[in-house]
Every structure is written in structure tokens, then in C-alpha cells.
Structure 1
């Protein structure tokens, strides 16, 4: 499409994972930009961690056109995109606890596969405590639910989940000594994505691969809220009608069904249901064998790597040539699928089958032509092309005569749309085709949601070994089971969105503030507003409702002024029979203004402008990160409020708002404190230049250094530690960060 758009005079860009920042920015500046949903979402988060407008990749949002819109806005909407940073190393603890889990029996925990939860029973808790004591992880007289042991409960729960709810080659796979998540809906491995809250580390310990550090959220957004930032969105997919209600409810998008350009000739047969999985797989192999003998191409759809490899092993015993396509062979996807329509071809694929590549009866001539040796002469090349096209056409005629592509589903997926996508691989563009699902009572969907009723029906019918049943009642029961799962998943997504909407509103405020700071060349007015508000708060906190000298805590105010501004000042003269609040605020404003005027005189306005911008952005980023961490903790325990007859969502909104207000106050105080205590040691690299001869640069031992300022000369930033006097290493840092001194400015100073 890019070539057509460029021919029409439009510019086209493409975002891929490994392009440079400059290329990324250029691509976003194009009239039309192509990219994956993950790249767009992560670029949005990364842009809101940058320091200057020149570094931003994305431009203001306009119109999003989403391919496979149901996959992106619905299937992937349950999991937010997260940019995270490492926390302390707990890998040894994960490995120690992992060794304890296999010692638990089925009576030690309760597992609910419908809701994907597993919890310790009372007996299990007692057993775990004994095991922890033996392993030296718990004190002899201690209890697992003592306050100091709360972290152990978290690790035990995650390890239990890893062992009981997550299966290798179904939920994840191992590649290059790493755990890779397998996407439920596409079957693809999700490179670079990790489970949160320590679950990924628990899986790494379970599979004996390197346990990587836990991560703390630095920035997060759901696809729902990311795409709703666009004034206009639209999308296309072949399987949206079953989710029309959700599209309208969440995105205000209507679903319109467009009829195919050619009549559908595919024959969709009734499901075949067996008592056991073994009988089902035998029936599938028999059907593949029959179709293969008739030169009919067959596509076998599975729900996991494990199942695809099981069928592959059974076909090998029958000596039936076939291709396997799953997350392990992702690189070969396009070629394998392109030739899946060749007469007699057998292709086994997980749900990834066909995304972006049509299965053409007879094979895909273009893919075969692309593989021709480029060194051939023009005459030889043309002859080879003609031969390939002729072979493909002959092969297509054979495949059509055999009935077209036969799609075999090895079990029903929890979403009807995924089943429809698999069926839709066959009978494209008016071609003939056939589809059929083989099921058993041991399939996950049947076992969890529909097995009791169907099991009793099969028992009454007295089915023998290897016998199947076709019954509309069973198909209806299955459809109801799928609808049940779809409804549950819809509720999960809606619930996620309700909670994320709270963080989303706060995210918008913070990101707008960041953008305003980055766009401004002079922040002195903003800084002045901040310290004036802070001064009013200081006076109100220490002197409010205290009208006379005896009640007024003047010494407390003086200590706070010294802590924040590094200035010794007495306010006793303003306290007589009555406390003159206004006069104190006016005096305090004069003092602080003097502090910042003297800074500007000492370092120049230019240096102060750079310092103000940098300190404000660093402080905002640091406290926003801590705020996200606090919201994560709040979210985890908020459902317990339901036991107190309170609505968890309303409680979350109320407390999150309180935390946000508290964070804004902390940003104000910490940024002003840092600027007031800032001390710059100017260096002259060649010994000859005066301060006025070069542009200054500020380096901080905080987190990131702005590469856009590399042309500026070097200075070292430090804080006036001497103004705070002697501070104990384990005491709270006087800067107001709430961290220990050794982890904050004590670390900064010692590192210089």
C-alpha cells in the first residue's frame, strides 16, 4: 500500500522495533504511519519520559486505522503495556521458595480453573510455614501472616500459580534460556513482554532458567485508553460481530458487516464429540490420512504448542509428510502458510495461522518466485517464473477437485471469534473448502464449563470406544459455554478499564504538565508559583488556628524553612498578642525570592533555566513512578473493602484521588527544596574560557542526562549537605524524599 500512497503524493513511514530515534521521528511525521500496536503504545510512554520536545517521536494524535481490530482492542485489552525498571534482586528467594511448592499435596490448596486462581487451604498454610522454617526463611515462633512476612505470602502465591495454573508450551515457552509468554489468541511468542508482580520470576525458577530482577512500573497504559486518545478510530476484521456490544460500549464504534465479494462455498460440518482425548486424536489422524490420500490440502488448528507437537508425532508414525507452525517456528510462518494450499499438503498450526498471509489453493506463486536465484539470466528467470505459475495453476486444479482446503479444529477455543478465524482460512475468494471441529469431554473448555451435562447425555446414549456423537443440543451447550467465557472476559476488560480510567485521568494531568515544562524556555514563573503555594502551606500547617504566641509553633516553622530553603530566619517578631499570618507569608516570600535571585546572580539566568527544567522533570518523574507503585498496592487489596459493604471501585477512586493530591504537593516541595539547595561547581575545561564564553550544562546524579545538551560544558551538581548538618546514614533524607539518607543524597554525595 505504501507504494500506492507514495505514487499519490503522500509520505509513508513504518515503525519497527529496531529503528533509531531519528528514523522513528521521521516515520511519525509522515502522512501515513504503519506500526504495531505495541510499538505505538510504548512510544507514547517513552515520549512521556523524555526531557525536551526535540526528543519526542510522536506528533499529536489524529486518526487511527486498526487492522485485526478485535485482536488489538479486545483480546489484548486485558493486559496493560508497562515500562518498568529493576528493583532489588530477589532471585535467590524465588529459587528457594520454588523448591518448596512440589512438596505440597492436592489437599494443601484449592484451584479454580474457571477464574484461574489457586489459594492455600488452612492445612496448606500450616505445611508451608513448617517448610519455610526448615528452609530458614521463617523464624521458629513466627507466623506467615505476621507483618514482616507479608513478602513471603506474595512469593508463595506466585510460585503456586506458576506450578498449578501455567503450563510449558501452552502459556509460555523456553527459548535461549528465557521464558517467553505465548499469546492466547495468536499463538505467537511475545518477545520482550513479561508477567508482572513476580509471576515471571516464579516461572523462571520453576523451569530452572536465569531468574531476572523484579521490575517496578515506571509508566503504564492500556490499549483501550491509548487508542481512545485518538479523536477518530476505525478498524477492520473478519470476526467482529460477536463483539459488537463491547465495541460500542467501550469505544462507541458501530460494527458493520460487509458481504464477501464472492459467494462462500465452504461447507462447515457439525462438531464431532468423543468421550476421551485419545479417541478424538485417533479420529483426527484418520481424517487427515483420508484427505491426504485424496490430495486434499489440510490445515489442522491447535490451541497450544504442546497439542501441535502431539499431532505431529502421531503423523510421523503414520509417515505423513507435514509442516508444524507454532511459536517455536515463528520465522517460517509466512512461507509455511503460503504453501498450505498445495494439493495433499498437511499443515499443523496454532492460532497464529494465516495472520497476514492468504492460503491460496495450489500454493502462492509470488512466494515461490521470490525464492528464485537472482544470478539467473533474464531468459532463464522468465522461464522459471512461467514454470512456477504453470505448476501452481495445475496444483490448484487438483486441490479444487479434491474439495479445497479442509480445516480441522482439534478443540474449541474459549472465544468463538478464534474458531471463526480458523474456519475463515478456508473457502476464501469463492474457493471450495470444508471445516470441522473434533472435541472430547477432556478438552479444557468442555471439562471446565460444559462437561457434566454433556457427559450425562453421552452416558445415556451408551457410546462405545471410538464412537462419536453429532447433536445440535451439544453444539448449543458448547456455544453457551463460550458465551459464558466471553462474558467473563468482557467483564474483566470493563473492570480493568474502570480502574485504569482513574489512573488515565491522572496520567493526562502529569503528561500535560511534563509537556508544558518541556515547551517552556523560562520556568521562573512556574517555580515562583510553586514556592509561593508552598509558603502558604507551611504557614497554614504550622500556625493555622493558632491565634496567640503560646499556641503558635514558630520554632517548627523556622525548622521547616531551614530544611526546605537552607535559610536561618526568626519569625518571632511577627507573633505578639496575635499571630500575623499575612505578614509572615509576605516575609517568607521575600526571603525565598532572595534565595532564587542570588542563585540566578551566581550562576546566570541561563543556567537556572536549565536547572529548573531538569529538576522539575526529574522530580515529577520520580514521584509519578512512586505514585504508580502506590496505586498498584492500593489496587491489589481494594477488593477486600467489599467485605465492609463498600464499593471497591468508589473506594479506589477516593483513595487514588487523595494519593494524587498528596503527590502534587510532594512534587512542589521536593522540586523547590532541590532548587533551593542546588550548588553548582563550575569548571573551565581548558583553563582559559570565562563563564560568559561558553554555554553551561548541568549533570545530575539522578537518573537520565539529556543528550540534546551534549554541546554544553560540564559542571557537577551537588546539594548543600553542609546546610543540613550531620545526618545519620539510616535517618530520613532532609530533602523530603522520604528515603533513607544513604539511599538518597548520602549516595549522591559519596558517588561524586
Structure 2
């Protein structure tokens, strides 16, 4: 029986069909302008940009200009890029302009689609950010599409790793800025650590188009973006604990691959306690005594490193360094590090140099960063499976854009074998058959280890002419992908997600021309050779078409349906024929984790012979259910992360807005006076309570507090001995003395110097306390989950205690600022001293909330200078020559104070 919903869809079409249909009239209006714009000269076409801007200034909206602006971009694209956006690309562009997600298949020209709404929204002059997954794509797209924007009179900038602040500021000032999500988030956090508005690089958050939106807003959003600075070196402790790991047996720990956790059993805990006690690292009786919190952390990380993380799957060791492998793209992540001591535990495991841990200086989740944009849009080949999450978290609707040409790819049912060995034999047979008939084959694997295992097997079968694309070879990535469509080509790839380069049947002509004719100057000879290459590519394409197009052969199912769909989507671009099939075994990770034992015994009973596969649509459905379970779990992880970050986000907004006000405020004397008054009020209320008798006053405590907070030695005991004195009079005398001392200091310094000193101290104190507050919130976050055992809501507890910590931080701020300003003394060079700077020893981190994986590439900021420099080589006037200075060491500047109370006070 057909449901009413299915019946209604047959009659009226789905909601997606109706939405797409609604764009058709504007597509026709754009097409109607084509002849008129073709007749214009280049100058007349470019002049339309100024005309549009004038219309906007006169009150027209961007929606009013959509049709003429899109028609202008289409004509400019024909002239500058030799590309004419199809009608379906115009529809995708309209979806992006409306602030939604356009799901467009691979090969449908998403990069070109993005130019239309980018141009239209850039006309307003507030800047448009185009977000890509890596620096290569940001640079490539900015260079290619920049020709189009430049032709129409708009400026284009690009932000990549390693740029200076001046270069970044210039790029953000452009009409259109290409950048990765990591660089954008990193710059936002760094901007909010600057001490002068002029040093900030970003302008605002107006409109962003996110390419590969599922990868950036879903996969990478499982982890907050963090800026951190190094803590002291603990390599000896890591190595000591690592040496205990080989002594553990299976009964000592439990590993849950589904949840990515490893914990000690009672026997394991006892064994670790004994080993730690013998090594002198255990305080008290139990490993779980409060004084052993740090040791527990290190021990758990060592267990994870040995039992959960596999070399050549989760990371590789290259040039004496542990390098992370991205689980979604299979790429190496040089410079990225697992967080919270996990990377150090892996370095100890692999016996390479151990780098120091880091402390959080600032952090934000990608969800909260991208929700700052007034308008957000995205495009990808695979978004519908995550439509609920896009709607819930970002308020983004997903629209499926029809393909320009109907898809001719055949997606076959999965083949399931009992053992991995049988599966690989079947894969080799299939590759041989495809190669023999000249069909290009793309073989998808889920890890480097498996891709290299398959490559070895192919070599043993006599194949040598194939390419392996994984993290070890990502430098040649674009050229390998570009030629993967040649007849008979075999390409083994790890997680083909977000590669950014199309697989064109016959090979990529432009890439071949660039490689083969790189040294040939412009002229007739080059033109002739270019023509010959294009003719050869056309012949090869026909050969690949005759063989059935690109065959996507997957060796395993990924835990995310999107990654599988991305792999499938590589075949059948622009109506080309193609084929895809997944080869599985009951020993694969996904099958094993989701209980394939029962199926194995059932297949044996049914008499499934060796090298026979079970092929049935029901198997596909069962696997899809398993994948949905994993996706739902990951969604819950991200939702949970966001709930906790929202608590911090409210506080972050207050602090960042306060910083901007402080930077913009010319004179902070009023603010500082209010802080001083609050400190005095608190002191009097604490030591001379309103309802207390005079004999109950804590005068010793008050005298000490006045010295500590106000740097004044006041005769509070004598005042209290006077006849008829009350707390209000003492309050008034303390206030007068403090105000007089502050006024005297201001007069001696002069108004300009005093204003500079006040602003510097307030900003530095705020930053220092905010960093301490972040550490406190991290610690609270790590333990608050246990409140659930007492039937209390951990999130509610986190909100309540987080607010109390924040209030305490603000109280500390008033105290620290008042205390320092009442002690500050003018040194001759003070007026000419450089303004305070954000810490230079920062690095970006992108941490996985569940595995502790650091998934962020450093944003062009040097790591901490950890050199130990002899005292005689340190220049007291040049901190860059000091190297690492101990917190309790005498400050190298010669002040006589400890480093932590002098130049290290706000580091």
C-alpha cells in the first residue's frame, strides 16, 4: 500500500523539487539577458559593477540585483575562464545566495558556482569569505577565480599558512577572501589577544561560503579550535611510564573500539600502582588519590597510545616525528599534534624526541565561529545524510541540485566475503579484469596500511604501472588524481574525500600541458604540441568510455556514509558512464564492531564455499543501519561539545567585547577608579561587617589587605580606637587615601603615560586571568561528568560552577589591576617602551573531544623558543635572546625580581 506522503510526492513532487522549480523563472530571466551582454565591450561589462554598487547605495537590495549580476558573472566567466555556468549551476548559486547548502555531485563545477553569489554579495563592500579545506585549494581557487573577479573590478585575497599579520590584514581587506576554516578561526582568536585595534587583521563576519561544507562543519566540528602555549618539559615522566606498558597483559585493561576508549581493570590498576611506587612516582597509597591526578592522566594516555592508536593507520613516524593521519582524508598532518599529552605518549612509545605539552590560551568551536556570520552558505557533493544536523546547529537547509546531465553510473550491491583473504583475492581478480579491457579503476581503502598492503599484492601479481595516493605521497596528489581517468589506469587511494581535483576520463589535458610543456615558451611550436595533447586526450577518453568509464572499487565501508558516497561520486561525472562496487569481509572493522559473528556462523551453516560472496540488497541496508548508528553517536558527541562550549561562548563574548571597548577607550581612569572602589568595598565588607561590633572587627586582616591591594600603610588600628568611629568613616578614609595616592601617581606620570600604563595593565591582567579561567574550565569539564552518578545533570553543574568561576575571575581582575596600578613606578624608558604584545610562543590546535586528537596545522606562528641560553649570552634589553627562562629564575632584564613577577608575569 502506497503511503499518502509517497502519493503526494508523485503528484506534487518533493519539497526539494518544488524549491528547485521556484528558481526556474529567474534562470530564464538570466538567460534572456545573455545576448544583450555578449554585445558589450569588456569595459562596458566591467562598468556594470560600479552601476550595481550605485544601485545598492540608492536603496536596492542584493535580491533585486541577482538576475543582472548573475548574468554579468556568466558573461565574464565565458571571457576570462572559457566556462559558461549551466542552468543548474545558476540554481546552485541562488541556493548559496539564500544562505543554504547546495548538494551538487562531483564534477558539477562547484568552484564556478561559488563565484556567482560571491560576486553579488561582495558588491555591498563588507567582504565575502570563501572557505576551503586546505591551503592548496584556497590558493588555486583564489588564483583561478581571481581572474574573473579582477576582470569585473573586485579585489581577491588569500590567507594561507605562514603569512605575516600585514599580509593577512591586506587579504581580509579585499572584496573576496579565500581561506581555510583553520586560518579563519585562528585569526579570530589571535585578533582577540591583540593589544591594539590597528593590529587586528579581520574586518567582520559578513558572508561565508563553505566549500566541502560537510567536511568542515561536521567532521572537523567534533573538535574545538585552540591556541596554546607550552608548559614545562616532562619527557622523563613520559618515558618512565611508557616503559611500564610492555609489562601489561590483556587482563590488565579493557579496550572499546566503538567508543575509542581504553581503561585499566582492577588488576591493571594494582600492577601500575606497584610499578609507579617502585619508580618513586606515586604519592600516597592509591593511584586515584587527589595528589596523583596528573599521573593518572599520563598513565591513561600511555595506555591509549599503545592499545588504541596504530602506527601507519592513525599516525606515521617520519624524520623522527610522529605525524598524524587525518581519518577522513588519509592525508598526513605535519605540524598537527594530539592534545592533552597524548602526542607526547605516542612520541615516548615510538622513542622519538618528546616535545612539551601546551596550555590553552584561547579556544572556540567551529560551530560557534561560523554562527557569527550574518549569512552562511555551503556546497558539497554529500550533505543530505547530515541534513538534520545542519538544520539543528547552523539553521542551514540542504537543497539537492539536479545534475546537468543525468547520472549514468551503475552502483552495484556490495559483495561480502567471510574472510579478508577471500576479499582481497576477489579485489585482485576484479582489478585484473578491468585493466585487461582498458577500464580506469579507482580503488578506495580506509588506511595507509591497507593501501600499501594492496599495492604489494598487485606487485606480486606482476602489476607495476599503478599509483598509490595516500598520506605518504600527498605532494603529488593533484597530478595523480588528474590522470586517474586514463584507460587501464589503476589508482589506489586512501579516503578520497575533498581532493578538490576532478578525475576526467582520458586524463586532465590542462595538467598534462602544464607538466609536459612547462619549459616551452609561447609560440607556434607550443600551440602545435598543446593541440596534439588535447587530441590524444580525446582519443584516450573515447577508449575509457568504451571500456565502461571509471570503476570505483571500494575495499571496505567507512563508518560514515558520506565518505562512501564521496568515493562513489568520483565516477560518472557530467553524464559519463561508470560503475561502483564495495567489497567487504566479515572481518572488516565496521562489520566486526557491529557483530558479524552470528552472520559468520550462519553462512557456514548455509554452506558458503571459499571465495564465494553473499550479494543482496538486504546486506546493504544492514550496513547502512550500522553506519547510521555511528553517525548518530558522532552527532551526539558534537551536540554535547557544543552545549558545553556555548557556556564558555557566552563568557568569551563578554571578555572579547570588553577587550575591544578597552582598546577603543582613550582614557580608562574612570574604569580603573571604579575597580579600585569595588576592591575597597569588598575589603571593608569582609573585615568590618556591617552588623558587627567594633571588637569583632578584623583590623589586622584589613591592614594586611590594604597593604596587599593598595600598597598603603594606613593606621587602621588608631582610627578604630577613636571615639564614635564607624565602618563608614573607615571606608571613607581608606578611599580618600587610595584616591590621593592614585592621583599623585597620575600627576607624576603625566596623563598620556598614565593612560598607556592603565590600558596595558588592564588588558594584560584580563588576558592572564582569562587564560587561567580557561584552564579551570577545562579541569571542570573533565570531572563534571562524574556528577551524573549522583543523579545531577553534569551540564547544569558546569553552567552553575562555570558562572561562579567567571564571577571569581572578574573579582580577581579588579584586585590584580588595582594592586599593580598602586605599585607601578615610572622607569625612564617607560614612555618609549613598545606596547604589550600577545604571546609569541603560540600554536594552533584542533582537538578531538573524544580521542584527544590535535587536528590543526600551526597558523604561521613560531613555536616556543625552548633553547637554554647561558646567562652571559643573554642581552638584558632584548628578550628574544633569553631562550627559555624558569618561572622562579631571576629575570634576565636585571630588575632583581623573579621572572614570573617581571617579564614573565603575563606570559
Fold-level similarity (TM above 0.5): yes
In the TM superposition, residue 422 of structure 1 has moved relative to its aligned partner by 0.2
Q: Does 1:635 align with 2:635?
A: no
The offset of 1:361, in angstroms, is 0.1
Contact 1:272 1:469 in 2 (8 A): yes
Q: Which runs of 5+ in 1 are unaligned?
A: 684-690, 706-714, 718-728, 731-740
1:562-621 CA deviation, whole Å, 9 max, x = no partner? 111211112453676776333333322222221221112212111111111111111111
- CA offset at residue 703 of structure 1? 5.6
Compared CA separation, residues 300 and 656, structure 1 to 2 (3 A): same
2:180 to 17, 20, 36: 36
1:261 positional shift: 0.9
Give distance in 2, aligned partners of 1:21 and 1:467. 61
**Residue-by-residue CA offset, 1:499-520 (whole Å, 9 max, x unaligned):** 0111111111111111111112
CA distance in 1, matches of 2:315, 2:389: 28
Query: Do structure 1's residue 188 and structure 2's residue 331 form an aligned pair?
Result: yes
8 Å Cα contact 2:193/2:838 also seen in 1: no
Query: What does the per-residue CA deviation read over 1:2-57, in whole Å, with 9 as the maximum and x for residues that have no partner?
Result: 21112222111110112221110011111111100000011111111111011101
Whole-angstrom distance in 1 between the partners of 2:736 and 2:580: 82
- 1:242 paired with 2:385, answer yes
Check conservation: 1:68, 1:235, Cα contact below 8 A: yes
Question: Kindly tell me: are residues 587 and 28 of structure 1, through their superposed partners in 2, closer, same or farther at Cα, counting changes over 3 Å?
Answer: same
Write out aligned runs for 1:365-444 (5 A): 365-371=509-515, 372-376=517-521, 378-444=523-589
Question: Cα distance, 1:742 vs. partner?
Answer: 5.3
3-state DSSP of counterpart to 1:677: coil
Aligned to 2:282, which of 138, 149, 161? 138
Aligned to 1:697: 833
Partner residue of 1:277? 420
| Relative contact order higher in (CA < 8 Å, ≥ 6 apart) | 2
State how far apart, in whole Å, the 2-side matches of 1:433 and 1:716 are: 68
Q: Separation in 2 of the partners of 1:608 and 1:82?
A: 34
**1:353 positional shift:** 5.2
Q: Aligned in 2, Cα 1:748/1:77: closer, same or farther, shift over 3 Å?
A: closer
For structure 2, the residue ranges without an aligned partner over 5 or more in a row are: 1-144, 842-875, 879-886, 889-896
SS in 2 for 1:65: strand
* Corresponding position: 1:51 with 2:207: no
The partner residue of 2:232 within 68, 88, 92 is 88
CA contact (8 A) 1:611 1:698 kept: no
Aligned to 1:744: 900
Provide the rounded CA distance (Å) in 2 between the counterparts of 1:206 and 1:219: 29
Q: Secondary structure at the match of 1:74?
A: helix
| Matched residue, 1:657 | 803
What SS does structure 2 have at the residue aligned with 1:333? Answer: helix
Structure 1 pair 4/748, CA: closer, same or farther in 2 (3 Å)? closer
Q: Aligned with 2:373: secondary structure?
A: coil
Corresponding position of 1:573: 719
1:648 aligns to what? 794
TM-score, structure 1 normalization: 0.91
Please say if 1:171 is aligned against 2:314. Answer: yes
Query: CA 1:702 to 1:479, structure 2 compared with 1: closer, same or farther past 3 Å?
Result: closer
The structure 1 residue matched to 2:448, chosen from 296, 305, 310, is 305
The residue aligned with 1:448 is 593
Residue number in structure 2 paired with 1:62 = 206
2:38 alignment counterpart: none
Deviation string for 1:187-234 (max 9, x for gaps)?
222232221111110011111111100111111111011101111111
Name the counterpart of 1:211.
354
Tell me, in whole angstroms, the C-alpha distance in 1 between the residues paired with 2:727 and 2:597: 76
CA contact (8 A) 1:607 1:697 kept: no
The match for 1:159 among 302, 321, 329 is: 302
The Cα of 1:552 is off from its aligned counterpart by 1.4
Q: 1:21 aligns with which of 127, 144, 165?
A: 165
3-state SS of 2:210 partner: strand
* DSSP-derived class of the 1:659 partner: helix
CA distance in 2, matches of 1:575, 1:65: 72
Q: How far 1:453 sits from its partner (Å)?
A: 4.2
Query: Residue 501 of structure 1: which of 646, 657, 661 is its match?
Result: 646
Alignment equivalent of 1:223, drawn from 366, 382, 385: 366
Q: Given the superposition, is the C-alpha separation of residues 354 and 408 from structure 1 closer, same or farther in structure 2, using an over 3 Å criterion?
A: farther
**Native 8 Å contact 1:48 1:514 kept in 2:** yes
Contact kept? 2:496, 2:567, Cα under 8 Å: no
Q: Give the aligned partner of residue 110 of structure 1.
A: 254
* Aligned counterparts of 1:408 and 1:646: Cα–Cα separation in 2: 50
| Bigger shift: residues 329-338 or 175-184 | 175-184
CA change 1:252–1:746 in 2 (3 A) is: closer
Matched, 1:357 2:501: yes
Displacement of 1:427 in angstroms is 0.2
TM-fit CA distance, 1:147 = 3.0
Deviates more, 1:301-310 or 1:600-609: 600-609
For 1:708, the equivalent position in structure 2 comes to: none
Q: Is the 8 A contact 1:681 1:716 kept in 2?
A: no
What is the rounded CA distance, in whole Å, between the counterparts of 1:376 and 1:96 in structure 2?
62
Please give the alpha-carbon distance, in whole angstroms, between the structure 1 residues aligned to 2:903 and 2:656: 29
For the residue of structure 1 that corresponds to 2:311, the secondary structure is coil
Mapped to 2, the partners of 1:657 and 1:748 lie a distance apart of: 28
CA contact (8 A) 1:322 1:347 kept: yes
From the superposition, tell whether residues 579 and 638 of structure 1 become closer, same or farther in structure 2 (CA, over 3 Å): farther
Measure, in 2, the Cα distance between the counterparts of 1:80 and 1:180. Answer: 20
Mean Cα deviation higher: 247-256 or 148-157? 148-157
Q: Which residue of 2 aligns with 1:680?
A: 826
Q: Secondary structure at the match of 2:281?
A: coil
Which secondary structure does the structure 2 equivalent of 1:144 belong to? Answer: coil
Distance (Å, rounded) in 2 between the aligned partners of 1:402 and 1:425: 17
| 1:249-289 Cα distance to aligned partner (Å, 9 max, x none) | 11111111111111000000000001111111111111111
Q: How does 1:337-352 map to 2 (within 5 A)?
A: 337-352=481-496
Q: TM-score, normalised by structure 2?
A: 0.76
Contact 2:364 2:649 (C-alpha < 8 Å) held by counterparts: yes
Shift of 1:377: 5.8
Structure-2 change in CA distance of 1:130 and 1:521 (3 Å) = same
Q: Which residue of 2 aligns with 1:726?
A: none
CA distance in 2, matches of 1:501, 1:701: 28
CA distance in 1, matches of 2:359, 2:496: 31
Aligned-residue offset at 1:557: 1.6
Q: Which residue of 271, 282, 285 corresponds with 1:127?
A: 271
Computed over aligned residues only, the root mean square deviation of the Cα atoms, in angstroms, reads 2.3
Report the equivalent of 1:486.
631
SS in 2 for 1:680: coil
Report the counterpart of residue 525 of structure 1 in structure 2. 670
Tell me: CA distance 1:295–1:50, structure 2 relative to 1, closer, same or farther (3 Å). same
Count of equivalent residues: 709
Change (3 A) 1:701 1:262: closer
> In the alignment, which of 742, 762, 766 is matched to residue 620 of structure 1?
766
